[in-house]
Structure 1
Amino acid sequence: MAQDEATVPAMGPRHVAIIMDGNGRWAKMRGRPRLFGHHAGARRVREIVEACPGLGIEYLTIFAFSTENWKRTQIEVAGLMSLFRSYIRKEARALRSRNVCVRFIGDRPGLDAKLQLLMDELEEMTSGCTGTNLTIALNYGGRDEVARATKRLAEDVAAGRLDPGAIDEETLPRYLDTCVLPDPDLVIRTSGEARISNFLLWQSAYAEYEFIDTLWPDFTPGVLAEVIASYASRDRRFGGAKG
């Protein structure tokens, strides 16, 4: 399949989550600073979002900035925050015109007030859209999400709103950031790293994983189509026996 071709495979995933990795290495290979790679990666997001309807993907969740990414240099973090603000301003109308419903997950209070306001505005602007559901994980960590959800659950128990004897594995998901989303069917990590990096820990219990060598700025809709075709050939049994 050509890199720029995308076709819908049979039995494709409804919800795809992507750990977008490799921006820094992509820039280094070209003798440019890491932020150059992040800007290239942001442009790639637009192409992948646009490709989703043609590939049968209803939900796309992308890992933009983790709770651990604050450990990076102050220059890179500041540059990323500026990029996020710029991305929202530039893409807001285009996302709405393409009928994309945008949500953010993560520890929002940990971000600066201006960025939070832009996130709120984009969610409100696209809330009525009925096409692709784009979820952006920003200042997100799976363990942090579960801890925050558990705290809210405990508060409801203490207030008498929740019977502790009624808590089961269906209860906690109602407190997660992703409570309105289906669990991901397929999780993709680019750049050749084979780890999940604290991403959607609870939600991905039965997701299929695909670790590919392609760096995120080189991840075209054609590459996505190839990964989805591979997914379609897998036998998902959810713990049951084959056949």
Structure 2
Amino acid sequence: MGTPGEFPISELVARTGVPAASIHHYRRLGLLPAPRRAAANRFLYSQRHAEAVEQIRELRERHRLPLRHIAQIMNAENPDHAEVATLADSGEQLREVAIQEFALRGYTEVSVADICTQAGVAKGTFYRHYRSKQDLFFRAVEAVVDNTAEEFAASIDGQLGLSRQELTRRLAESLLPGLPIMLEVAKRSVQGQVEHAAAAQRVFWRLAERLGEALSDDPRGHRLAGALIMDAIAHIFAEGLMGRFADRPTFDSSGEGNALTASG
């Protein structure tokens, strides 16, 4: 029996509206305190867990923060929930705006001044965080890769035996918002720009490695990750040619971080 105020994960799901698979994923990332083990296969949660799950959901949905940034906030001493926006430093703001701008307009059309204006950051502050526009671009692509891998991991968490077709579909959904910026670095690579060629190689190896980690419970694991990337990109292009992404989310051009909005 649990102590007063404790409840099983089914109750935590009912209270927060967050699936059990996502809650387990948050636990593994260290975003939630460990539940109390009541029996070999029974864990009990409390209102403290419900509040933490609600906070994570708001940080993801309202503030559009990636899980790694949420971890920094959740691990901070006495985090002030009302001041979450101030916890993202100017370097983070610049990178989030850069992801949006590079994805919408391409590398050549975006200037450092554009990014600083959209982020509300002084140009001098920009150069405290990044050596150049190219440096920011590479870091933005790496952030997109990590966000994609996190979303994919959450989408398959605890679901073993998914078909390759289903894995491809879920990766395509996770990959779609950030694909333009990843294709941008690939495009500049095939144009013979040496530094971008090296960055493209790092980016796609990083994505394959992160996907391999997400698939670690699948016996196909790392061997499947690289093939899934190509399958998912092909799936996105095929769906796009048939007009099936007409109402899917795209990057918002309002300048509010990495928010998504329906196109059309």
Q: TM-score by structure 1 length?
A: 0.29
Q: TM-score by structure 2 length?
A: 0.28
Q: Which has the higher strand share?
A: 1
Give the structure, 1 or 2, with the largest relative contact order (CA under 8 Å, sep 6 or more).
Answer: 1
**Over alpha carbons, which structure has the higher Rg?**
2
Q: Which has the higher helix share?
A: 2
